[in-house]
Amino acid sequence: MTQLILASASASRSALLTGAGLSHTKIPAHLDEDAIKDECLARGHSPKSVALKLAEAKALHVSGRNAGLVLGGDQVLQLENDLISKSHDLDEARALLRRMSGKVHYLHAGMALAENGQIVWSNVETAEMTVRPLTDEFIDTYLAQTGDKILSSVGCYQLESEGVHLFEAIRGDYFTVLGLPLLPLLAQLRNLKVIAA
């Protein structure tokens, strides 16, 4: 079987692959993601395209140095016309949650497979996330419960835990929200005969 490499240090993406029975190794792609994002935005790329370009850059970076099939993944959060970055501290998280309160935002999850330094497949999926109106009291309690761990998530939530309390509606695939749309990925791995069809 072709060796599958995850070009990421993401514990959640690795756990999703493991849960789906896909053995893999993790080799993080150490890239300046902000520089790639800024260049994409300067060239007029859409938020969906930015997610895809980041995933492709990670896959290519690791594929150029390692044999095997490399999976790159990235997720961007679009709120109104802005791409949101991870909050650096709980004060920034509080401000972001206030801004997202009562609004819809979009999670764009890009994936790319590379082999021998070439992209062999790429895909992007989007989830539409409707945040319920949040009171300041709720936000303070939520941040006290989650603590600094919430800073590892771009939207200051983890849907698989306390973050579910932020939402009144979600349109899209659960795996897309978690940052790795498994269904199209599994379909492509079957097409490439990496896993049984």
Q: Which domains does the chain have, with CATH numbers?
A: 4-191 (3.90.950.10)
Rounded CA-CA distance 107/9 in Å is 19
> How do residues 113-159 score in pLDDT, each as one tens digit?
999 999 999 999 999 999 999 999 999 999 999 999 999 888 999 88
pLDDT of residue 86: 87
* Cα angle for residues 178, 52, 160 (degrees, 5° grid): 5
What percent of the chain clears pLDDT 70, i.e. is strictly above it? 99
Backbone angles phi, psi at 180, to 5 degrees: -150, 95
74 is catalytic: yes
pLDDT of residue 25: 95
Catalytic residue among 34, 74, 148, 173, which?
74
- The helix (H) or strand (E) run that includes residue 53 is helix 47-63
Is the pLDDT at 2 greater than 80? The verdict is no
Residue 105, CB-side half-sphere exposure with 13 Å CA sphere: 26
Which one, of 88, 86, 90, lies nearest residue 144 by Cα?
90
Task: Check residue 21 and give left, alpha or beta (phi > 0: left; psi -120 to 50: alpha).
Answer: left
pLDDT band at 160 (very low <50, low <70, confident <90, very high): confident
